[in-house]
Every structure is written in C-alpha cells, then in structure tokens.
Amino acid sequence: MNRRINLSQAFVTMGILVVLLIVFLAEVFLGGSENTNVLMKMGAMSNYAVVVGNQWWRLFTAQFLHIGVMHLVSNAVIIYYMGQYIEPIMGHARFLVTYLLAGIGGNLMSLAFSSDRGLSAGASTALFGLFGAMTAIGLRNIHNPMISFLGRQAFVLALINLGIDIFVPGIDIWGHLGGLIVGFLLAVILGDRVMKTYNPKWRVLAGAVLIFYVVWTVRTGMIINF
C-alpha cells in the first residue's frame, strides 16, 4: 500500500532553522559570530578543549553555531530544501535523531583527523548526515522512481560539496565526511515510515559499523598534536 508524501509536514526542519537563527543572534549579541572567544564560550569544536578540558558536549553544541552570516545562510537554505522531502519520508522523530546524531558523528571525525589547533562550527556535519540518510533510503527503495531519484540527487549533492571542500580553505572536510557516513548508517538502522526498511542483517551490520566508527574516532581523537 503506497502512502502519499505530504511535503508540508516538515515542522522539525522549521524548528531546527529557528534554533539556528536564535543561536546566531545570540552569537552576534555576545560579541560577533566570528569572535573566537564567543565561539569558544558557546561551544564551538576545539579538539584540545574536548580532550584535555573534557568538554565532550562540544561535539553536540558545535552543530548549532555558525561563523559569519553567509555560513548560516548557506547551510540553512540546503537544510530547508533537504528537510522538505526527507522529513516526511523518514518521519519526524527519525529525522531529528538522524540530524542530531549525524552532527555529533561528523564532529567525531573532525576530532579524529582535523587540526588540533583549529576551531570549527556549523550545521554542515548534520546536513551531510541528511545527504547520507537520503542516499541510504534511495538505495533501499530503488524501484520507487521518486525516492530513488531523491537518493541519487542527495548523493550527487554530497559529492559536489565534498569536491568544493577540497579547494576552499578553512572547510572541515573531515566533519562533512563523518556526517555523511553516520547519516547513511543511521538511515539503514532506523529505516523510514513511507516505504521499506533494510532487512535485520543489514541493520545489525550497520549498527556494528556505527559502534566501530565511534570507538575508532574517539580513540584516534584522544591523541592531541601541536
């Protein structure tokens, strides 16, 4: 039995965008979104602070901060676009869980491989999680023309953005790649509410890979180099 996808059912997406805007305004009020002290105070990713300062909460908070208004706008536009069709397909709870955990997963990859001297922030780790999730859903529903197309489109967008990352200085490509991987694995595990879920073997395998990913990135990230 096919179920119609209501593209207006994306209130979690809108809620995320409202939160991002409120946090950005708080950054500006406190001294500026490009002020290092403000970013550190509000929870930007700093490998040194996470490991040495035991501030693991930064893995979560960094995905709500942005460095400059264009950083916010570019992420918000794509989150809005992706959320309009991914949220109705996944369901509100699965969508939110995938978004937030992919953001953390991306920051774990950043912790493991990005410069320990840098400071990073942005919703793009979570955004790439949406790319990964839609790719997984598209693969599972490959015989559904619309969902399969959306999956391919998400994968192509991810590749284009990763390609741009290589040539743009100051972009945390590791965070993006990590978010993509975690989003894909979460969609395999959680499934979606509209079409089909992966069989139990694939879901267990994805869960095992996700656990390995978390252990591997944490262990690697615990080594700080200056």
Question: Per-residue pLDDT tens for 50-83?
Answer: 999 999 999 999 999 999 999 999 999 999 999 9
**Taking a C-beta distance cutoff of 8 angstroms, is the pair 65, 42 a contact?**
yes
Q: Can you give the three-state secondary structure of 55-121, one letter per residue?
A: CCCHHHHHHHCCCCHHHHHHHHHHHHHHHHHHHHHHCHHHHHHHHHHHHHHHHHHHHHHCCCCCCEC
The predicted structure's pLDDT at residue 8 = 60
**Catalytic residues, which ones?**
124, 176
Q: What angle do CA 106, 21, 74 make, to 5 degrees?
A: 60
Q: Which residues contact residue 168 at a Cβ distance below 8 angstroms, ignoring those fewer than 6 apart?
A: none
What is the rounded distance in angstroms from the CA atom of residue 96 to the CA atom of residue 2? 24
Residue 8 vs residue 124, higher pLDDT: 124
What is the rounded distance in angstroms from the CA atom of residue 168 to the CA atom of residue 126? 19
- Please state which of the ranges 83-87, 198-202, 219-223 shows the lowest mean pLDDT: 198-202
What is the rounded distance in angstroms from the CA atom of residue 96 to the CA atom of residue 87? 8
Global confidence as pTM: 0.92
* Partner residues linked to 45 by β-bridges: 120
Provide the token pair at 125.
Answer: 């780790």
